[in-house]
Amino acid sequence: MAKLKFLFLEDSLVDLELIQRQLRKAKIEYDPFHVCDSEGFSETIVKEKPDLILSDFSLPKYDGFSALTAAKQLCPETPFIFVSGTYGEEAAIKTLTMGATDYVLKDRIEKLLPAVQRALNESQDHELRKKAEKERYELEIQLRQSQKLEAMGVMAGTMAHEINNPLFAISEYAALIAKGDIDAEKTKKLALKIRDESERIATIMKDLLRFSREEKGNFKPAEACDIMIKLQSITQQIFKMNKVEVQWENVDKGHSILCREGQILQILLNLVNNSVDSLNQKFPDYDEKKCMNIGVSLKAIEETIYAQFKVEDFGMGIPLEIQESVFKTFFTTKTADRGTGLGLSVSLGIAYEHGGSLYFESVPGESTCFFLNVPIAS
Ligand SMILES: Nc1ncnc2c1ncn2[C@@H]1O[C@H](COP(=O)(O)OP(=O)(O)OP(=O)(O)O)[C@@H](O)[C@H]1O
Ligand SMILES: [Mg+2]
């Protein structure tokens, strides 16, 4: 480990020696930096990034309050201990509320060591916490990416189905033309149909590509109604395969949200998949009650207008005892091959990134309704 750096703001060499003698007793290894005025103090902080500051309170050319204020600005994380001869209780309290770590009176200098030790330990804890936080943040990004890959897997399956139909039609039309026994007018009609079906495939491919691109880029305005239309096209096959009846609701054009569109679709696709799972659990096959409401509407909450996306199903509902847990990372009631428990926790993170919110209302045994609110771009 690199040697610690201690910055001493002290005008008296005698006092400096007194302080350092204490530190020697504890065999703390450090590089000392000694300053006695404002310029030297700030300069050393910037240049050396000290691990601890030990400061006198009253100096001929500087004062403790100003030094503390400067330190809090230049290196807010560095512990700051006052070591002073004159130090009223009032001043002591004030410096602590201003962010000083501790204070020690020079005539009780034996208290210095425990104070220094405590400050260094706390600062080390803080460093470790910061490191852990950073690691967690990185892990979350990885999870989000892997979650997206998984969603893409589901979507790729869906897309394959979607593409199969127009492909089949194209090859049938082409076969008819190839036979050569139809008139020019009919041939033209078939050619136009082939063109339409190809365009359908192109649209599907475009959606897939847009979704798969890693969306680190900027937030862009997207029409709430277009997002809904895309969701409808992405999920069509899922609903057909699972025999789910859906009522769709949309807003007019002219209401945009600032977003990463693929991520918003990802959240909605997750919600749809959860609903379908729940409906399948309640109704393994076709049932007239196997239905959902999906839509977007405008909602004013306090001063802000939101696009409120709603995904409602009449499946199992969420049991009361797990309602608090569903947003937790890796919480799942599904078997390992059906769920990882990432869907909602990742979705929540994305919703927050968009300045929005994600929450639900559920009647156990009857229904679940998830709401995703994203502010309308002004
Ligand atoms: N619409 C719903 N109806 C009933 N239960 C739900 C619904 N949505 C979520 N849940 C419950 O919340 C749990 C967590 O959902 P989440 O989407 O986070 O993970 P998952 O679906 O289990 O797995 P993953 O989405 O990672 O594949 C689910 O396992 C389920 O118990
Ligand atoms: Mg899920």
Per-residue pLDDT of the chain (378 residues; tens, 9 = 90+): 568 999 999 999 999 999 999 999 888 889 999 999 999 999 999 999 999 999 998 889 899 899 999 999 999 989 999 998 876 778 888 888 888 999 898 888 889 999 999 999 888 888 888 888 888 777 777 777 777 676 667 667 666 767 888 898 899 999 999 998 889 999 999 999 999 889 888 877 776 665 555 455 678 999 999 999 989 988 888 899 899 999 999 999 999 999 988 889 989 988 999 999 999 999 999 999 999 999 999 999 888 999 999 999 999 999 999 999 999 877 889 886 677 777 898 888 889 889 999 999 999 999 999 999 999 997
Same domain as 165, residue 70:
no
Whole-angstrom distance, CA of residue 287 vs CA of residue 241: 13
Whole-angstrom distance, CA of residue 137 vs CA of residue 152: 23
Q: 274 alpha carbon to ligand 1 midpoint, in Å? A: 5
pTM of the predicted structure, to 2 decimals: 0.53
Residue ID of nearest Cα to ligand 1 atom 29: 332
Q: Is 101 in the pocket of ligand 1 (CB under 6 A)?
A: no
Q: Is 331 in the pocket of ligand 1 (CB under 6 A)?
A: yes
Same domain as 286, residue 216:
yes
Same domain as 212, residue 68:
no
Same domain as 255, residue 159:
yes
Q: Is 326 in the pocket of ligand 1 (CB under 6 A)?
A: yes
Q: Point out the domain boundary residue: 132, 167, 200.
A: 132
Q: Which domain holds residue 24?
A: 4-132
Do residues 303 and 324 lie in contact, with contact meaning Cβ atoms separated by under 8 Å?
no
Q: Is 313 in the pocket of ligand 1 (CB under 6 A)?
A: yes
Same domain as 59, residue 36:
yes
Q: Is 327 in the pocket of ligand 1 (CB under 6 A)?
A: no
Residue with tokens 């300045």: 355
Same domain as 309, residue 292:
yes
CATH number at residue 310: 3.30.565.10
Q: 323 alpha carbon to ligand 2 midpoint, in Å? A: 14
Q: Point out the domain boundary residue: 79, 99, 132.
A: 132
Q: Which one of the ligands is nearest to 335 CA? A: 1
Same domain as 227, residue 105:
no
* Number of domains the chain is built from: 2
Same domain as 241, residue 185:
yes
Residues with CB in 5 Å of ion ligand 2:
274, 343
Same domain as 196, residue 122:
no
Q: Is 274 in the pocket of ligand 1 (CB under 6 A)?
A: yes
Same domain as 229, residue 330:
yes
Do residues 273 and 363 lie in contact, with contact meaning Cβ atoms separated by under 8 Å?
no
CATH number at residue 63: 3.40.50.2300
Say whether 293 sits in a helix, a strand or coil: strand
Q: 346 alpha carbon to ligand 2 midpoint, in Å? A: 10
Residue ID of nearest Cα to ligand 1 atom 19: 341
Same domain as 280, residue 370:
yes
Do residues 120 and 71 lie in contact, with contact meaning Cβ atoms separated by under 8 Å?
no
Q: Point out the domain boundary residue: 74, 97, 132.
A: 132
Same domain as 268, residue 207:
yes
Ligand 1, pocket-test mutation among 314, 326, 345, 363, most atoms within 8 A of CB: 326
Q: Is 40 in the pocket of ligand 1 (CB under 6 A)?
A: no
For 254: left if phi > 0, alpha if psi spans -120 to 50, otherwise beta; the answer is left
